[in-house]
Amino acid sequence: MVPYTYRMVAVTLSWALLPVQCLSIPASSQDHSTVQRRADTRAPDPIDQASFDTILNYATYAGTYLEAPCKKPPQGAAVVAFVQNDTTETQQSLFRNDGAREVVLAFPGTANPTDIETDLNFPQVAHPACDGCKVHEGVYEGWLSVADETMRQVKSAMQATPEFKFIILGHSLGGGLANLAYVDMQRAGMKVDLVVTYGELAVGNGKYADHVDSIAGATDDPSQPGMFMRVTHANDGVPLLPPNALTSIIGQDFVQHRTEYWAQDGPNGEAANISTTFRCYGQGSQACNTGQRGIGINGAHISYP
């Protein structure tokens, strides 16, 4: 029998069956005209236009997974490959966009009961990326179940278009899969130009998060955000999963990596815009998503810009 706490988490995760609703952001009861500086972190900075445009652009891929392989790709893109492991129910779609001159690998979020089992299988296992690196067992098993074929497909696509950029994306559970794919592809010497995740759950311990920051070139220097954009929204609770209040009982910690971009609700419920989106500092800034204390899969998680 699954313990009570696990059952409650499973119920929460079942909300991920709902689609990502592009540019649909729930109303806020708070006035966010200013962001208060908190003692334990630097206040976030306003996002630049190029970064905001990047977030909006790739969200069109992150929300395409409900009918995989995607039957209606984002404008200008075409599905060139697809993988699904029938045991783990892990899947991905590989797109090519000739106009943008890029290949895009997109991982879906939780979409079936097997995915929920993956989410709940969060005891940590060693990861070869660094000494002491540990990661979420379920998400890692999901990635490994499609890793060989995915890397083969990506290598083939990039050999055909070597001048194109290669982008990795994911939403929710898919964000964790994108994270692990990036690390393993980097270890394999493959070129990755950008990673963007939306509502990514935490997939590793502090040493693993430090490793991701290191290879992505992410620091708290305002001029060095790195090439991994971890997008969060309002009080989305998934970036706080698995809950350390639970995992600490068995001596584990889950730490998010840099660089977070936090899309806050507008003061009058308007859609997210550049003035309500911020570049955050640290691994889980209290001034951004972490400080909102969201719980599980809520309205903020299924509604990203």
Taking Cα atoms as reference points, which of 65, 62, 24, 11 lies closest to residue 296?
11
Phi, psi values for residue 48, rounded to 5°:
-85, 160
pLDDT for res 303: 85
pLDDT for res 65: 55
Pick left, alpha or beta for residue 293 (phi over 0 → left; psi -120 to 50 → alpha; otherwise beta). left
State the pTM of this model: 0.86
Helical segments of the chain, H only: 4-13, 49-62, 113-120, 137-160, 173-187, 206-216, 244-247
pLDDT for res 236: 95
Q: CA 245, CA 237: separation in Å to the nearest integer?
A: 14
Token pair listed for 291: 């400080």
pLDDT for res 265: 82
- pLDDT tens string, the chain, 305 residues long: the values are 333 233 334 434 433 333 333 333 333 333 333 233 333 468 999 999 999 999 999 998 986 555 668 888 898 999 999 999 999 999 999 999 999 999 999 999 888 888 889 888 899 999 999 999 999 999 999 999 999 999 999 999 999 999 999 999 999 999 999 999 999 999 999 999 999 999 999 999 999 999 999 999 999 999 999 999 999 999 999 999 998 777 777 788 999 999 999 998 877 777 778 999 999 999 989 999 999 989 988 989 988 87
Token pair listed for 143: 């990635």
pLDDT for res 41: 63
Q: Answer whether 252's CB lies under 8 Å from 194's CB.
A: no
Contact partners, residue 202, CB within 8 Å, separation at least 6: 136, 176, 239, 240, 241, 242, 254, 255, 256
Domains of the chain (ranges, CATH numbers): 4-292 (3.40.50.1820)
Phi, psi values for residue 85, rounded to 5°:
-95, 120
